Amino acid sequence: MTNRMQEIFAGRTILCDGAMGTTLYARGVFINRCYDELNISQPDLVRSVHEEYLQAGAELIETNTFGANSFRLLRYGFQDQVFAINQAGARLARQAAEQLNDKQAGKAWVAGSIGPLGIHLEPLGKTSLDEARAAFAEQIRGLAAGGPGVGVDLLVIETIVALNEAEQAIAAAREVAPHLPILAMITVDEEANCLDGSSPEVAASRLTAWGADAIGVNCSAGPATILTALERLAAATSLPLAAMPNAGMPRAVDGRNIYLCSPEYMASFARKFLKTGAQFIGGCCGTTPNHIRAMKSALRAAEAQKVAHTVTSREPIVTETPPPPIEERSHIGRLIHEGEFVTMVEIVPPRGIDASKELDGAALMVSRGIHAINVPDSPRASARMSAQSLCIQIQQKTGIETILHYTCRDRNVLSIQSDLLGASSIGLKNILCLTGDPPKLGNYPDATAVFDVDAIGLVNIVNRLNHGLDIGGNPIGASTGFTIACAANPGVPDIDNEIRRFAYKVEAGAEYTITQPVFDLRILETFLKRIEGFRIPVVAGIWPLTSLRNAEFMKNDLRVSVPDSILLRMQKASTPELARAEGVRIAQEMLTAVRSMVQGVQVSAPFGRYALAADVIADVLPPRETAPPVSEAKIEGAAVGNL
């Protein structure tokens, strides 16, 4: 046991309290209230809950501050009261504990409750690790205010859903309140794995390395699942353990969520937790003072028969399978590695099931020596044939390699991993990672968006799969071996944010980038200069305009920088045929101008006019050999109907 935990608890089994939110809700506080703010507006109510748990036998109570961080409080307009709410929470719990200590010979301790921020962190989200650490530090300052005997006795970082967030919380605690011990608790799914996919063994190793003084499991699907996770933690660490389960999974009864685990059932598992080696035992959602009272009786009986429990420490074995070099992963990867100028054409999936036009377009690209076909993933949030399906059809029927556009709009992290594993298994080798257009831009604006991660997080997921690991760091066997592309928009108004996000994508594992259409050479030059410190091969987007209206759409709707001089040229074209011809000339001029600056071009085929895209490339670049066919062995039997 660590010295700090030994000094406070001396190896004793500690019974903790139960749910604060459940009890407040039972006392008439509506679910849409900010429960943490009750520390200020209804202190007597909060204090009475603490007192009830102490009277039931709890020796350690947690402050009513689970969601008292700036991100969660922002939803209620209390983001400027983080310190005050946490300080009040510590004071109320301390008052209840001291009142009990005055009446009894025993001792009650106060733990500062720190829950997750409620947002995704980099690399899976937009909030930086530094921002997360600062938010945790702000909360901890309030909990620790006043020093020993006034603030909290220890910190409980609980319901951890992502280990990288726990790392920042622990780091903040070490910086702000180094005198306070830290209990860090993960929450797990029904298979007893962390919600970010990490195993309990991996969690034990990392939480220990980051400086937790005790670790455990809380919340989750009920005591049975918690016991399984606790057994796995016990086999992977020598730190003190904690178990604080929900009272089962909630069930909807007459419009209310009811937790159905009885106090007796929870008490039976309290004995099992103790036998497994738990030192801190309590409850989470759905547990009441009645549950804690029953658990107290069970622990008293078990303590008389308690036997020594020995745990051994071991490091989890994580087997990483690095991907082959990029030049061995795909034809495009080899071209990029060798520095050859790459040519790509974008073919958008059809709105129906007939892809004959798109397949004819791909065949034309093969005849013109184009290196690869880009296939967008329901662009502009439109409902189309899946990009994966069209990619496989193109590779099977024309032999040209494809680049699958993959967005985060429609998929959670489980679906993303499943899709990518399946894509690799059927012969897709190239991925362009995109956040995706929101549904409100498409034909179904009320459709639900997922966005579990954005493009940065997606790059990170693909990179991990390329190293034979899922997002939780668990081995998956052979690596996926994708070449990883990301997108960039040199003409976006907030270029500083675009550069910052681009740097994150490169750090996450992007190996080359494809830009939005380029019409202004100066903007591209500026972008390339800004990314010199973390540049990867750049493929410039080229769009052959078809009309003045098309040019205005690009400028005003898609926010692409289109100079007035180009708008004027398109305006002067008096017929649709002349407008398309002028659009091709502009695209050819842009391709010629950027050729020495970038490593390739992606030419779009507006409105399915594939001949225009082919003309832009063929009339400027020298003839090339036809791209080699995709290995039939990789796609044998991969019928489109099975995707």
Count the domains in the chain. Answer: 2
Residue 321 belongs to a domain: no
Say which amino acid occupies 240.
P
Q: Give the per-residue pLDDT at 576.
A: 92
* Residues 218, 78 share a domain: yes
Instruction: CATH number of the domain at 187, please.
Output: 3.20.20.330
Residues 368 and 499 in one domain: yes
User: Are residues 561 and 523 in contact, defined by beta-carbon separation less than 8 angstroms?
Assistant: yes
Question: pLDDT at residue 529 above 90?
Answer: yes
Rounded mean pLDDT, 304-324: 50
Please choose, from the candidates 197, 250, 240, 241, the residue with its C-alpha nearest in 3D space to the C-alpha of residue 219. 250
- For residue 266, being part of any structural domain is answered with yes
Q: Is the pLDDT of residue 310 over 60?
A: no
DSSP structure string for 340-355: PPEEEEE-PPPSSS--
What is the pLDDT, as a whole number, of residue 313? 36
429 contact partners, CB below 8 Å, separation of at least 6? 329, 330, 331, 332, 333, 401, 481, 482, 483
Beta carbons of 561 and 620 less than 8 angstroms apart: no
Range of the domain at 562: 326-642
State residue 626's pLDDT score.
43
Judge whether 314 lies within some domain. Answer: no
Q: Of the ranges 284-293, 439-448, 605-614, which one carries the lowest mean pLDDT score?
A: 439-448
Whether 308 maps to a domain, the answer reads no
Residue 251 and residue 224 in contact, taking contact as beta carbons nearer than 8 Å: no
pLDDT at residue 355 is higher than 50: yes
Q: Is residue 43 scored above 80 in pLDDT?
A: yes
Residue 202's pLDDT band (cuts 50, 70, 90)? very high
- Is the model's pLDDT at 255 over the cut of 60? no
| Nearest CA among 140, 124, 164 for reference residue 63 | 140
160 DSSP β-pair partners: 186
- What percent of the chain shows pLDDT beyond 70? 89
| 21 and 155 in a common domain | yes
For every residue of 396-438, DSSP letters joined together read HHH--EEEEEEESTT--HHHHHHHHHHHHHTT--EEEEE----
pLDDT of residue 305: 47
Q: Do the beta carbons of residue 279 and residue 12 sit within 8 Å?
A: yes
> Edge-to-edge, what's the strand order for the sheet holding 109-114?
14-15, 278-281, 241-245, 214-219, 182-186, 154-160, 109-114, 60-62
The per-residue pLDDT for 106 is 61
Mean pLDDT calculated for residue range 445-471: 85
Q: What is the CATH number of the domain that holds 397?
A: 3.20.20.220
In whole angstroms, what is the distance from residue 500 CA to residue 25 CA?
43
Most confident of 239-243, 245-249, 457-461: 239-243
pLDDT tens string 172-192: 999 999 999 999 999 998 888
**pLDDT beyond 50 at 293:** yes
Tell whether 318 is covered by a domain: no
Q: Mean pLDDT over all residues of the chain?
A: 87
| 271, 347: one domain | no
Q: How confident is the model at residue 263 (pLDDT cuts 50, 70, 90)?
A: confident
Same domain for 355 and 235: no
pLDDT score at 176: 95
Based on the fold, state whether residues 265 and 353 are members of the same structural domain: no
Answer yes or no: is 320 within a domain.
no
Residue with tokens 């939005």: 516
Residue of 314 and 641 predicted with greater confidence: 314
- Looking at the fold, whether 63 and 166 belong to one and the same domain comes out as yes
428 within 8 A of 388, measured Cβ to Cβ = yes
Give the pLDDT mean for 152-173.
95
Regarding whether 340 and 275 lie in a shared domain, the answer is no
pTM score: 0.60
CA 262, 47, 73: angle at the middle one, nearest 5? 90
Q: How confident is the model at residue 101 (pLDDT cuts 50, 70, 90)?
A: low
Q: Are residues 292 and 166 in the same domain?
A: yes
Residues 259 and 389 in one domain: no
| pLDDT confidence band for 220 (50 / 70 / 90) | confident
Cα–Cα distance measured from residue 392 to residue 632, given in angstroms and rounded to the nearest whole number: 11
Check residue 438 and give its pLDDT.
81
Question: Which segment, 5-9, 447-451, 512-516, is predicted with the most confidence on average?
Answer: 512-516
Q: What are the pLDDT digits (tens) for 368-382?
A: 999 999 999 988 778
Residues 258 and 172 in one domain: yes
Q: Within a domain: residue 415?
A: yes
What pLDDT shows up at residue 260?
60
Whether residue 311 is contained in a domain is answered as no
Residues 291 and 331 grouped into a single domain: no
Q: Looking at residue 303, what is its pLDDT?
A: 62
Tell me, what's the pLDDT at 493? 84
Mean pLDDT of 204-229: 92
Quick one: average pLDDT of 115-138?
91
Q: Do residues 213 and 206 lie in contact, with contact meaning Cβ atoms separated by under 8 Å?
A: no
Predicted pLDDT of residue 548: 93
Q: What angle do CA 106, 108, 112 make, to 5 degrees?
A: 170
pLDDT of residue 625 exceeding 70, the answer is: no
The C-alpha atoms of residue 495 and residue 527 are separated, in whole angstroms, by: 8
Work out whether strand 256-259 and strand 250-253 pair parallel, antiparallel, or are unpaired.
Answer: antiparallel
